[in-house]
Chains A and B, each alone.
Chain A
Amino acid sequence: MGDNAILATGAYLPLLRFDRTAAAKALRWSGLGGGQKGRRAVAAHDEDALTMAVEAARLATADAPAPGTIIFGSTSAPFTERAHGTLVGEALNLSPDIRSLDVAGCRRAGFAALLDRLGQSGRTSLVTTGERRPVKPGSSQELGWGDGAAAALVGPGEGLARLLGQASINRDLVDVYASAGRPAPYAAEERWVRDIAVAEILAPAIRTALAEAGVKPGDVTLAAVPDPVSGTYKAAAAACGLKAPNVCADIQAAAGDLGAALPLFGLALALERAAPGDVVLVAGFGSGCDVGVFRVTANPARPSAGPALAEGHGFDEYVRLLSLEGAVDLDWGPRSEADPKVPASVLWRGARAMHGFIGGICRKTGVVQFPKSRISVSPGSHEIDTQDDIRLVEVPARVVSITADRLNFSPDPPFHFGLIQFENGARVMMEMVDTGRTTPAVGDAMRMRFRIKAADRKRGFRTYFWKAAPLARPHLEA
């Protein structure tokens, strides 16, 4: 199994949670919308698979050794030519000489990469996954799928869990597909999917993995198995003799099927809920499956999956959901026509400092500023090149001034922005996000979030930067 262990996990959900029953109500006239209950995690207009994967990666790498490899996994990566692993590395301010790669192609891509890295002894790797998948309004996926991200850090050491056994089955079961010609999912008949997924894919792989691990089905404490359609895990568990509850069912009810991020989110949640010594079975599903059986050695120092599920801002406006999904293109008027084109040469000069939120600290005065400049902002300073790099992402920060700007175009108004004061002295005019439509007050504590800075819809490009969000999220009512 190799010497590597799961060293840390991180799970991230966007702030917004849509009440599924509101869609059923809005769609009642059509007979669509089904009877789904619970909530769907909905990415903000400035979040994508990459930004959320960065947030999960931050959680997994906090207080941990820097990884030598970054793997980004998603079926909804924003670019087909621009490496997301590289962007994750820049956002985490990792050295540019590490290895990075993107994996894709099916929902189990990220978990398959994780199993692969667990077999690579001695090297610390970060696997981070994120999804924001396009869906058709009224489809079962619109409500059943959710947006989110999860990451795991793998490397030598005792860590949180060790792999005991694994198995893979590769079969072209097209329960759902998306393609260049059809970016939104096209799903097969659900009862057929369930029967084949259980009999031909999940149950055989689970049996093999348990046998390799030397673990009896009844000794599995928790499972994290995505349900491609409702009831799949239940049937597979019955077929294999598993008694363990499935944490993915909780995730899917509270946030939705997170695609490539679901197995890692499930792993993170299971490790938070399990006790040392417990056995956890995790599966990735899609074009076959991968199953891993883990022995828990410790709980995460800072849980993230449980809080991510429990906190958020609920909403029930179906048209807002459609707009956030990109399913309706509202006419926002001429103010939405600004052209945010950024020349590649400008991006090249500035992007690493932007992605890493790297400012400067003056060696002469200790003054911290963003962005860096040849001559420091320190009053009276005229010397050139006195600054060293300083990263602002994790520095405590507060609001100096703020407004809810309703004139400025925002795809999800209002547009909050203002001056942010960092504890180390840096001060930056910033956009503020995740406000739940409540304007933060002067003096409120804020945290940094990696977001899309500008979306150039005309050219299909986007730039990334950090935005300030309230430190705490509201608790969601059950």
Chain B
Amino acid sequence: MASGIRDKVVILGMGCSEFGERWDCASEDLMVEAFAEAVRDAGIDPGEIEAAWLGSALDDVNVGNSALPLATALRLGPISVTRVENMCATGTEALRAATYAVAAGACDIALALGVEKLKDTGYGGLPLRTKGLANDLWMPYGSAPGGFAQLAGAYSARHGISAPDLKRAMAHVSWKSHQNGALNAKAHLRKAVSMETILEAPMIADPLGLFDCCGVSDGAACAIVTTPDIARGLGKSDLVSVKAVQVTGSHGWESQYGEWDGSYVRNTRLSAARAYAEAGVHDPRQSLGLVEVHDCFSVTELVTMEDLGLSAEGRATFDILDGRYDRGGAVPCQTDGGLKCFGHPVGASGLRMAYEVYSQLLGRAGDRQLGDINLGLTHNLGGAPFNSVAAVSILGRLGD
């Protein structure tokens, strides 16, 4: 049994650009914006970084192939630079790579940076694929909301939840994120909206209306990681450590094998179980002070509450409506506004989630600061429920 990476690596500094329609910025500018904040936070010279991982998901509309755009934009010097891509879980994948490198002793200080520039496509939603692959001979060209919307009907069928109840809970998910996003100066959408507005919005992919869907954004986020000893040597005392990072990917079971009922995301369950074991979390409902989950669509957040073990099966609808995941609830979720309102620059999102947990743990979250918390979780989901990559990380105070 592997010993895992719990407390072997700490976060020395983090940065996050403003997310949104950054008409003023290219990808390179966004990377510099996030990087400058992280370097200031870490208190190091950029020349001390020994290896870097760039997360970017959509090479045809973003920085392109390899991590050379990162090395060039940040003038990192002749160090190892690598691009990683794992769909919408790309940001966490970059963090995982940097964390593993430090934990393995391959380098002392490593950088993970995620960036995506999506607003230059000229239309809403994710860019269209343009490659002719064998799968194109048979697989439907569905949109991202179309893929996730299918959770709703399957969830209702499994748990006997009526469509109106589910729709109200989904609306509450988005309502709550808008409440939180309004308090976040870096968020893409900083406006509270009413439940009526959400419920009456035009349909995008049944039963997801406009406000059940996150948009896509421009943005970058990054983390500089090192060992606890090096961090202490740099004079850091209040340290946030990586307790766990786990990634699980589909291998055809959901989409080709006849067992899955379509109502949950199995990879989230598997990654969460492994992450809880790695971090030594025995009761996530009690231990986790906040969660930042992949709320690409409201229904995704709803089923994720069960997949992470925070709600009992079939109960997420009611827990959500009871305010359990509101900022003042038992397990605050998306305190920064989530994908829904902070925004979703795909390659950056996993690191943006970590940025919020890190900020909350260090008491830097401003108007949305929670009380005393020790552990936070990020959940970063790529693909679609039937063909997904689920990344779960747990961050907490070193030594707790």
A443 to B263, CA, bound (A): 13
Contact segment of A70-78, A187-195, A421-429: A421-429
A377 to B130, CA, bound (A): 27
A401 to B261, CA, bound (A): 8
Cβ contacts under 8 Å, B149 to chain A: 403, 405
| A367-385 Cβ-contact flags toward B at 8 Å (1 or 0) | 1011101000111000000
Q: Is A91 an interface residue (CB 8 A)?
A: no
Cβ contacts under 8 Å, B122 to chain A: 334
| B134-171 Cβ-contact flags toward A at 8 Å (1 or 0) | 10111111110111011111101100000000000000
Q: Is A354 an interface residue (CB 8 A)?
A: yes
Q: Is A454 an interface residue (CB 8 A)?
A: yes
B256 & A370 in contact (Cβ 8 Å cutoff): yes
Q: Is A338 an interface residue (CB 8 A)?
A: yes
Q: Is A82 an interface residue (CB 8 A)?
A: no
Q: Is B203 an interface residue (CB 8 A)?
A: yes
B206 & A346 in contact (Cβ 8 Å cutoff): no
Q: Which of B137, B252, B255 contacts A453 (CB 8 A)?
A: B137
Cβ contacts under 8 Å, B355 to chain A: none
Chain A contact-residue range equals 35 or more
| A316-338 Cβ-contact flags toward B at 8 Å (1 or 0) | 00000000000000000111011
Q: Is B23 an interface residue (CB 8 A)?
A: no
A340 to B140, CA, bound (A): 12
A441 to B156, CA, bound (A): 11
Q: Is A442 an interface residue (CB 8 A)?
A: yes
| A338-382 Cβ-contact flags toward B at 8 Å (1 or 0) | 111111001101110010000000000001011101000111000
Report A367 CB to chain B, min CB distance, Å. Answer: 7
A463 & B137 in contact (Cβ 8 Å cutoff): yes
Report B126 CB to chain A, min CB distance, Å. Answer: 10
Tally inter-chain residue pairs, CB-CB below 8 A. 148
Contact segment of A101-109, A117-125, A256-264, A411-419: A411-419
Q: A340-B136, A350-B137, A408-B141 are in contact. Are A402 and B258 (CB under 8 A)?
A: no
A373 to B255, CA, bound (A): 14
Q: Is A430 an interface residue (CB 8 A)?
A: yes
Report B58 CB to chain A, min CB distance, Å. Answer: 14
A338 & B140 in contact (Cβ 8 Å cutoff): no
Q: Is B129 an interface residue (CB 8 A)?
A: yes
Q: Is B204 an interface residue (CB 8 A)?
A: yes
Cβ contacts under 8 Å, B143 to chain A: 405, 407-408, 415
A346 & B137 in contact (Cβ 8 Å cutoff): yes
Report A165 CB to chain B, min CB distance, Å. Answer: 47
Q: Is B121 an interface residue (CB 8 A)?
A: yes
| B320-359 Cβ-contact flags toward A at 8 Å (1 or 0) | 0000000000000000000000000000000000000000
Q: Is B125 an interface residue (CB 8 A)?
A: yes
Q: Is A404 an interface residue (CB 8 A)?
A: yes
- Nearest first, the 8 A-B pairs at minimum CB distance are A405-B146, A401-B150, A401-B262, A403-B149, A408-B143, A417-B140, A407-B143, A431-B140
Q: Would you mind naming 23 contact pairs between A and B with Cβ atoms under 8 Å apart?
A: A334-B121, A335-B123, A335-B125, A340-B132, A346-B132, A350-B138, A369-B256, A370-B256, A377-B257, A379-B253, A400-B154, A400-B260, A402-B153, A403-B146, A403-B206, A405-B142, A405-B145, A405-B146, A417-B142, A429-B139, A431-B140, A454-B136, A463-B137
Known: A350-B138, A453-B136. 16 other contacts (CB 8 A): A338-B129, A340-B136, A342-B136, A350-B134, A369-B256, A378-B257, A400-B261, A404-B203, A405-B143, A406-B205, A407-B146, A415-B142, A425-B257, A426-B258, A427-B255, A429-B142
